Structure 1
Amino acid sequence: MEIQGDDVLFSNFTYNPNFYYFLYVGDLKNYPLNNFVKETLERRLGRRDVQFIAIVPDVCIQYNYANVMVINPIAHEDMITNHHFSGMKTPPRMSCRLKSSIFMNAVSSSPTVRALINHILENQNQLYVNLYESVVEMTLDTISRVSILGPDKHIAKKYNNKVFQHEILQDVVPMIEGFRCTSREQLLATTQPLFAQWPEGVFVSAAYSAGGANSSITHSQQEVADRFQDEESEYLVTRYIPHDLDPTVLAVVANENDVYIAGIADQNIVDGNRFIGSSFPSLASDEQMRLLRKYTVKVGRVLGKAGYRGIFGCDYLIDRDGKIFFLEINARKQGTTLEFCFTLEQTLPEGSPMLPELEYYAVTENRFPPQTVEMNGNHRSIHWATHNYKITKQKLTTGYIPQNPYERETFRKIAKKELIKDFVILEHLGTNFLVSPGTFLARVVSVARNRDDVAEGICQGVGFIQQTITEVESDNALQQ
């Protein structure tokens, strides 16, 4: 059965009834995580025939991955109208970052996807859907015998609310002083006197924000008024604390008592609050890492008591006096999940369950599997960093870097000392794309045996990416 439909931009998938399938719905950058899910289901179900179908929003020139379906209603509309640069012989295709709510709604309502699900369920008694983030717009689980491999979406939404987090965790972890605002009017009234009290800055965040979106460090009332326009949104206002270290802790919760700590990395934050990547191992001291683990376990138990099951992360800052402050819960998988899977695989005893297997047991059985063990030190001397090359101004791609699916192999070779250092460039969109601000053009992952070599790899990878783009000043400039 070939998968075709007017709502699908691209597909290289052909259904084979001899395989046992699950679906992945999310960004292409998390495609490799599904190999761990595949291995989990093969062990758990006692099968050797598990495959996955990846439904992604990423519009690329080509795909070096198997079983991919692309659904992107905005790019689809652009291809139909083809109105951009109509005077050009080969008009560039548009690439823009799609909000997860729009994407999940499009996938959930897709006639092609629903027909595929019905066909799969003719040959297997259950279909799992693996998600990077559980969102309420994903409704495929309302279909009989379809189950989400991830946290409950309604609980996840509740605990991703930064205003709610600030209220419920006051006595759990060290919080930054701040205020809840239930409207823009209240936000403006609240921030007015704070600039004199907090000369380092006032941090404002909407209730839902990620990666620096919908949040800002402000230094004047005018900045607040210009930056935050939603009259009905909830806002969290906190004192900005100057700092140099932004650790993030990745964890899994199985119930209200059992919380697994996968590892601690440092976030690379630019412009005060814009996340562009992470690095491991963390520069935090041993005592600071002990406290970070302790605080994250406490947060995990709060989540577990509420019924949350699965992977989550906690972000912190360490001020210039060495004091730790909690910033936020990410009630979802986060940017370090894939690289920590690769690190754990090379560090833990053979046969130890990886993060997707821990999540599978947490979701389906409210417990962790046998042989669960946390990473205790970096005895394989694996160092890594990631860099998300995110466009802040419209660009045109004029070159192409082939998609590299061998990141897992790179970690293995570094751990076994077959390589001293290496970097990979992942998910490059391809040539002749008009890339909108906020879009991820590509991702660099550098792996080595020391921090300096990792930094060198990131620098080289970013340099290669920069050679594939050019400035776009106007439609006329492109047509000349």
Structure 2
Amino acid sequence: MDELHFTNIHLDPTVTYFLFIGELKAYGLNKFVAKALEREFNTPFKAISIAPDLIDTTAFNNLAVFNPTAKAEIEAAGRKVAYRTPMSIFSDKLSKSAYINSLLKTLLEQQDHVFVWMFESRPELNLGHKDMVTLLGPKADLIEHLNDKTWQYETFSKVAPVVDFMICCGSEALEQGLKELGERSPHGMFVSASHSAGGAQSMVCQCADDALGRFTCPETHYLISGYTPHTHDPTVLAVVGNDSEVYVAGVADMNIVDGNKFRGSTFPSVLPASVQTDLRDYTAAIGRELGKLGFRGIYGCDYIVTQNEDIFFIEVNARKQGTTMEFCSALEQLLPKGAPSLFDMEAHAVLHDKLPTDKKEPDFDAIINGNLHWGTFNHKVETDVVTTSEIKQSLPERTLFAQTAVDGLHGHIVLEHTGENVLVKAGTFLGRVAAVAATRKDMLQELKKGTNRLAESIVNRETNRY
């Protein structure tokens, strides 16, 4: 069975299981999903994870690594290899897998329903059993539409401030649009295909020729905007309950390099409280618009803030954010014991079309001036590299947050490292760092330690840009 690269799944007929389908960067969130389901149904739940990641699997329980191209990639490389598989392709192949369908059939023989969650709902995932399998998250058939950057700007410019922008269809229209916008954009332009994430299919350019050499499709819709000099790149995480109920978790500051490449975040944001209030208000307004379309669940909004504290909307991510685990772990310490988590709220929104009545709003002023600071760094390699050593995760991330909140300790952990003697292909995560401390200074020091450890685990050390 070539498609199944690894498994350590052992089913207990007395346990109720749910499925997590996606990259292992979200594996730690299974604990919050389990608690959300237990809260809803008053029975214990455990996760079965199905992921494409070709990394060290010793830290993961009840895991199946499903990767139809793994054997060919390993044979071609002549060694262990790590690379990213597009979730659209992964979801489609997995839906047709005999192993996965057999696993699902077995689960449905011992329990009457199976819940599934994904980092981002994918329309390509089709597990059948319509009345017996439920996706805990936004409806997958909405995602393609909501991820369209051109639609986002046309829609959300009505409820949040946006930069000067134009929408162009095809390379000829793009050329004309860049000429027009370039005349009033002294600092350059940002160009993005209608669907782009994490810096893929987007760029910051100083002249039209740079963009026209890269974007040549005559049918693609493009968003172009004047590049706006700014001092901060905040991101806001929230949950849509329905078209009137939105819960905003907080504001973090993103680390963006080369104008469009996300490398991590820090929390709490260093922006003034009044600016953070406006950011939360804009995000809630955008969430209500999403709710009108039937969106239910966790989402994030990215912005820029200028030196004069002007705010501009950049994009909506209609999915979990890369720092959802850190937000969940922090809120677990910052909110009253037993308060609903973000996943409690998402599950309740999907199942009941509203947020739980016992939700608790964070004390944002206390958080800004508080003693719980976290930061993350994603080391995505820019060229093919080979690892010389492995870095084991030293403790659960939630434990690190609890230790800081209770005892004021500070530290960092390295997550999802690819392992030793692995060819890590360009565009793939070498690993991630999470740092937690009682002060921002200590947190940044721990973050630097972690990023250095990651950089030192490869043959040709790359420059860390944090």
TM-score bin (small chain)? over 0.9
Q: Which residue of 2 aligns with 1:465?
A: 454
Q: Which residue of 2 aligns with 1:20?
A: 16
Superposition TM-score, scaled by structure 2 size = 0.96
The Cα shift of 1:450 comes to: 1.1
Q: Which runs of 5+ in 2 are unaligned?
A: 462-466
Q: Counterparts of 1:405 and 1:305 in 2: how far apart (Å)?
A: 41
Q: Which residue of 2 aligns with 1:195?
A: 182
Q: Which residue of 2 aligns with 1:34?
A: 30
Q: Which residue of 1 aligns with 2:326?
A: 339
Contact map agreement 1:191 1:221 (CA 8 A) in 2: yes
Give 1:277-356 correspondences, 5 Å limit.
277-356=264-343
The Cα shift of 1:455 comes to: 1.1
What CA deviation, in whole Å up to 9, does each residue of 1:122-160 have, x standing for no partner?
111110001110111111255441110000112222111
Q: Relative to structure 1, is the Cα distance of residues 164 and 141 closer, same or farther in structure 2, using a 3 angstrom cutoff?
A: farther
Q: Which residue of 2 aligns with 1:63?
A: 58
Give 1:105-184 correspondences, 5 Å limit.
105-141=92-128, 143-184=130-171
Q: Counterparts of 1:208 and 1:30 in 2: how far apart (Å)?
A: 22
AA partner of residue 161 (structure 1): D
What CA deviation, in whole Å up to 9, does each residue of 1:370-402 have, x standing for no partner?
320111132751101000011001101111011
Q: Which residue of 1 aligns with 2:426?
A: 437
Asked if 1:392 is matched to 2:382, the reply is yes
Q: Counterparts of 2:109 and 2:247 in 1: how far apart (Å)?
A: 37
Q: Relative to structure 1, is the Cα distance of residues 340 and 251 closer, same or farther in structure 2, using a 3 angstrom cutoff?
A: same
1:32 match: secondary structure = helix
Contact map agreement 1:203 1:216 (CA 8 A) in 2: yes
Q: Counterparts of 2:395 and 2:411 in 1: how far apart (Å)?
A: 14
2:459 match: secondary structure = strand
Contact map agreement 1:75 1:95 (CA 8 A) in 2: no
Q: Counterparts of 2:157 and 2:449 in 1: how far apart (Å)?
A: 43
The Cα shift of 1:272 comes to: 1.0
Which is worse superposed, 434-443 or 100-109?
100-109
The Cα shift of 1:61 comes to: 3.2
Q: Which runs of 5+ in 1 are unaligned?
A: 85-90, 473-480
Contact map agreement 2:241 2:296 (CA 8 A) in 1: yes
Asked if 1:453 is matched to 2:448, the reply is no
Q: Which residue of 2 aligns with 1:214?
A: 201
Q: Which residue of 1 aligns with 2:464?
A: none
Q: Counterparts of 1:450 and 1:403 in 2: how far apart (Å)?
A: 23
Asked if 1:382 is matched to 2:372, the reply is yes
Q: Which residue of 2 aligns with 1:260?
A: 247
The Cα shift of 1:41 comes to: 1.4
Q: Counterparts of 1:251 and 1:438 in 2: how far apart (Å)?
A: 28
What CA deviation, in whole Å up to 9, does each residue of 1:230-249 have, x standing for no partner?
33221101111011101111
Runs of 4+ in 1 over 4 A off after TM superposition: 141-144
Q: Which residue of 2 aligns with 1:358?
A: 345
Q: Which residue of 2 aligns with 1:230?
A: 217
Q: Which residue of 1 aligns with 2:76?
A: 83
The Cα shift of 1:202 comes to: 0.8
AA partner of residue 422 (structure 1): G
1:140 match: secondary structure = coil
AA partner of residue 73 (structure 1): P
* Equivalent residues, number: 458
Contact map agreement 1:396 1:433 (CA 8 A) in 2: yes
Q: Considering only aligned residues, what root-mean-square deviation do their CA atoms show, in Å?
A: 1.4
Q: Counterparts of 2:13 and 2:207 in 1: how far apart (Å)?
A: 62
Q: Counterparts of 1:182 and 1:73 in 2: how far apart (Å)?
A: 35
